[in-house]
């Protein structure tokens, strides 16, 4: 079984700024961040080929709302 941090891939735009980051870890998990020209950011968390995505462009936005749902459902996992 594979473990640890397995790969970190970074794609950069013409100016050298990161616009897509993929982190693969553990036996089959991944996190992706995708930045668009509009300034929006998408966060993806998955396992192999399934997971969820959320807009991470604003404080108090979609990603933060999902985080709060998870924190309420799993208080033993909360990090502050």
The closest alpha carbon to 24, from 50, 41, 43, 3, belongs to 3
Give the tens place of pLDDT for each residue, 4-24: 999 999 999 999 999 999 999
> Hey, where are the domains in the chain?
5-74
Residue 3 structure tokens: 């473990």
CA atoms of 28 and 50, how far apart (whole Å):
10
**Residue 1 pLDDT:** 65
Q: Are 20 and 34 in contact, with CB atoms under 8 Å apart?
A: yes
Give the tens place of pLDDT for each residue, 13-52: 999 999 999 999 999 999 999 998 889 999 999 999 999 9
Q: Which of 6-24 are b and which e, b meaning 16 or more Cβ less than 10 Å from the residue's Cβ?
A: eeeeeeeeeeeeebeeeeb
């Amino acid at each position: 079984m594979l473990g640890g941090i397995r790969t970190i891939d970074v794609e950069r735009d013409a100016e050298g700024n990161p616009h897509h980051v993929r982190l693969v870890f553990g036996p089959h998990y991944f996190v992706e961040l995708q930045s668009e020209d509009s300034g929006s950011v998408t966060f993806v968390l998955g396992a192999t080929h399934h997971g969820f995505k959320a807009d991470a462009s604003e404080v108090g936005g979609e990603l933060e709302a999902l985080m709060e749902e998870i924190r309420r459902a799993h208080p033993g996992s909360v990090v502050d």
